Amino acid sequence: MTSETNLTFPHFFERQESMEIAGYIIAVLIGLSLGLIGGGGSIITVPVLVYLLKVDPVLATMYSLFVVGCCSLVGSVRAYRKNLVDIPVVFVFGSASMLSVFIARHHLVPLLPNYFFNIGPLAVTKPVFLMLMFSLLMLLTSISMIRNARNNQLTIVPAGDQPRKMLPLFLQGAGVGIITGILGAGGGFLIIPALVLFGKVPMKTAVGSSLTIMTFSSLFGFFSTMAQYQIHWPLLMSFTAIAIGGIFVGMSLSDKISAGSLRKVFGWFVLSIGILVLVHELFFSA
């Protein structure tokens, strides 16, 4: 699972140049998903970095924090200008998320053992464990996207007259922060239902607030622990810039394409990638 590992993938990915090109093409798709539907595509950042750009899985979770944070920043600025960010909710959820991201990156990730156990001939090492957990997160994310694509919104309707439940919101933020810190994923599919249910936030505002939360928690997680890693800035900056470029393309097309249909397409795409990651780690990572 290191950068020197030979991965068993289709023949057109065998050459390093082809794999890098494919990685940057998918970076555009990541940005497109954020620009068109407000999220979803960033969940595939880690697999792209690991399998196509040959980044070590532990380092890839760190890179993903930067990519997700920068991409979310673009979306959150746009949402803020449209008055679609709930500041009190962002403060409660975001502060809990940032705290738990810090704990995860500084304490939990270093505590993960280099070797866990064996599943038959498969030795579950720290990189394999991270990718297995990430594949499960991708499966959950894809199912959420596919299920919610029908009505282009979550099936949760907040009760407008009920008070906000800030303690559950804070606890949910802490849980999402742990996931973000360990796996480098933004967790938007977990944040939005929490904001709607406990924060009583309308759906469009929940999306904008979610992007704002992911911006703060992801970038905080990256910059607070970047000294622990040797970062390849040219690769990271170029990947991030291409993804952000995709966001602006997506924004320009957002009024012309059905977001519900796109969410379903991206959901199936994330599902297929999640299955590929799971199969690869279980059967081909030895």
pLDDT at 165 over 70: yes
Burial class (CB in 10 A: 0-12, 13-18, 19+), 166: middle
pLDDT band at 161 (very low <50, low <70, confident <90, very high): low
Of 40 and 173, the one with more pLDDT: 173
Domain range summary for the chain, segments of one domain joined by +:
16-283
Q: How confident is the model at residue 149 (pLDDT cuts 50, 70, 90)?
A: low
User: For 187-237, how does the pLDDT look when each residue is reduced to its tens digit (9 = 90+)?
Assistant: 777 788 788 888 888 877 888 888 899 899 889 989 988 888 889 999 999
Given a cut of 90, is residue 95 above it in pLDDT?
Answer: yes
Among 5-14, 59-68, 78-87, the range scoring the smallest mean pLDDT is: 5-14
Question: Cα–Cα distance between 193 and 206 in angstroms, integer?
Answer: 8
Residues near 136 by beta carbon (within 8 Å), at least 6 away in sequence: 274, 278
Spatial CB neighbours of 57, under 8 Å, sequence gap ≥ 6:
1, 46, 50, 126, 127, 130, 131
Mean pLDDT rounded to a whole number for the chain:
81
Tokens linked to 196: 């709607």
Instruction: Give the CB-side neighbour count of residue 242, counting CA atoms within 13 A.
Output: 17
Give the model's confidence band at 25: pLDDT under 50 very low, under 70 low, under 90 confident, else very high: confident
Burial of 115: CB neighbours in 10 Å, binned 0-12, 13-18, 19+: exposed
% helix, strand, coil for the chain, step of 5: 75, 5, 25
| pTM for this entry | 0.80
Enumerate the β-bridge partners of residue 122. Answer: 119
Structure tokens at 92: 């409660």
More confident residue, 154 or 76: 76
pLDDT of 12: 43
